[in-house]
A = this chain, B = another copy of it.
Amino acid sequence: MELERLDFSIEKLGEAHFPSPMKGTRFVEDGDRVVFHSHPEKIKAYLEKGQDPPALELAGPRELLFFDPSRVRCGIVTCGGLCPGLNDVIRAIVLCFHYHYGISPIYGFRYGYEGLNPKFGHRVVELTPEAVDRIHQLGGTMLGSSRGPQPVVTMVDTLEELGINILITIGGDGTLRGAHAIVEEIKKRGKKIAVVGVPKTIDNDISYIERSFGFETAVAEARRVTQSAHTEAVSARGGIGLVKLMGRESGFIAAYTVLADNDVNFCLVPEVPFTLERFLQVLEARMVKRGHAVIVVAEGAGQDLLGQPLERDASGNPKLGDIGTFLRDKIRAHFRERGLRIDLKYIDPSYTIRSGPPNAQDAALCLLLGHHAVHAAMSGRTDMVVGYWKGHFTHVPISLAVSQRKRIDPGGHLWESVLAVTGQPRDMR
C-alpha cells in the first residue's frame, strides 16, 4: 500500500523572538497540529510504516513574534470576483492589527494586484478602525478588485518602496499563484517580507481547505433562486424550472444548494459527465410521471456538449460556453418535437448570489480567518494560506493549496447525498 506524500510544512522568515503583546492569551504552540485523515486505518498505516501521519499546523496567536510590532507595515489586497465577506476579512485584519498588536493603520491596495502597479495610479488607502467601522454590513470590497496578474518585479518594488513587510492577499487560485510568485521574488532579493493568503473562492474549490468564506451565503442565495424555480414549475402545467449556478470546475454550490432546497430533481455538475440524449430522456420520463421538474446546472457542467474552442479570461480561467441557455433551447426543442407541452422558466441569478454581505456563519468565519492571517504573518510565516480542517484553523502551504483544484468526488458522500435527494440516475451518459 502506497501512502500519500503530503508535506504540510510551513515556511518561516526566521527566528521569532519578539514577545507578543497579547498578554494572557492562550497561545498556540508550534507543534500543535490536526491530523489530515479521518479514518483510523489510514492513520494506522502511516504509523505502522514508522511515518508520522500527515497533519496540518494549527493557526492562532504565537507567544513569540518574528516581527517587532512597532516596525510592522502591512498591506492588504483583494483580488478576483466578489465573494460575500471580503469587507469582513479586511475589517478583521485591521482590527486585529490595531487592538491585538497595536499596529495602525494598515495599507489597502486598490483594485487587486493593479494597486501594486504604479502605472494604474491607484492611491493606497489608510485603513484605521474608523475607516472599517461598518463595512462588514455591506457587500463587495471597499478596496475594489480586479482579475489577473501584474508584473512580479513591479509589485515587489512597490512593497519595498512603501516599506511593507507583511502582505495579506485575499483571493483565489490565481491570486495565490501570484502571491507565491511574489514570495519567490522577495526571496531572490533576500528580503524579510511575509506573504500570507486568505483563501477566497465562492466555489469552495481550494484543496486542503474544507470551508471558504462566502460559500454558505452563496448557497443560501442560490436556494432562494431554486425555490423560485420550484414555485414557477409547480404553478404551471408542464412547468420546468432551469437554474444556472456558479461552479466553473467544481459543482459544490450546485450540490449544496440541492441539499439545502431538496425540491430539485436534477443537479448537473462539471465533475459528472452526461449526454444530452440520456438527460432529455430521463427528464421526459419525469415530466410524464410528475408533471414538473426543477433542474440546477453548474456553469461548468456539460461543456463537452457545446463543442466550442477553449479561450481563457484575464485570470487564466477557461472561458465557458453558456450551458444554461444551451439546455434551455435543447429542452424546449425536445419537447416540441415530442409533442409534449412544457412551460420552461430559465433563471440565471448570476452576480446576485455573490454581492451581498455574508450570513452569520460566514461572518464568523471571515473574522477568524482575518485574525489567523494576522497571527501567522506576525509569527513570520510566509508563502502560506489560512485554512480550515476538521473544526480547526490551519496553515496550508500555498504550493499545496494550488496543486490541484478541489472537486466533487462522484464516488463520495456528497454526491451520494445529491443522488439520494434528487432521485436522478447515477449515470446519465
**Footprint of B on A, CB under 8 Å?**
24-26, 32-35, 37-40, 43-44, 47, 52-53, 55, 60, 82, 91-92, 96, 99-100, 111, 114, 120, 134, 136-141, 144-146, 210, 216, 219-220, 222-225, 227-229, 231-232, 234-237, 256-257, 259-262, 345-352, 355-356, 359-361, 363-364, 367-368, 371, 390-393, 411, 413, 416-417, 419-421, 423, 426
CA of A426 to CA of B24, assembled, Å: 8
CA of A210 to CA of B391, assembled, Å: 9
Minimal beta-carbon separation of A214 from chain B (angstroms)? 13
Knowing A140-B232, A368-B259, A391-B390, the reply to whether A39 touches B47 (Cβ < 8 A) is no
Among candidates B52, B82, B349, residue contacting A40 with C-beta atoms closer than 8 Å? B52
CA of A33 to CA of B234, assembled, Å: 41
A228 engages B355 (CB within 8 Å): yes
| New A-B contacts (12) at CB < 8 Å, excluding given A38-B392, A144-B235, A256-B364 | A33-B40, A34-B39, A43-B53, A44-B47, A114-B237, A137-B138, A140-B232, A141-B235, A224-B352, A257-B360, A367-B417, A392-B413
Minimal beta-carbon separation of A60 from chain B (angstroms)? 7
A35 engages B24 (CB within 8 Å): no
CA of A228 to CA of B53, assembled, Å: 45
Interchain Cβ contacts under 8 Å between A and B, 8 examples? A26-B411, A34-B39, A82-B235, A139-B228, A145-B235, A220-B359, A231-B355, A361-B361
Minimal beta-carbon separation of A47 from chain B (angstroms)? 5
A367 engages B38 (CB within 8 Å): no
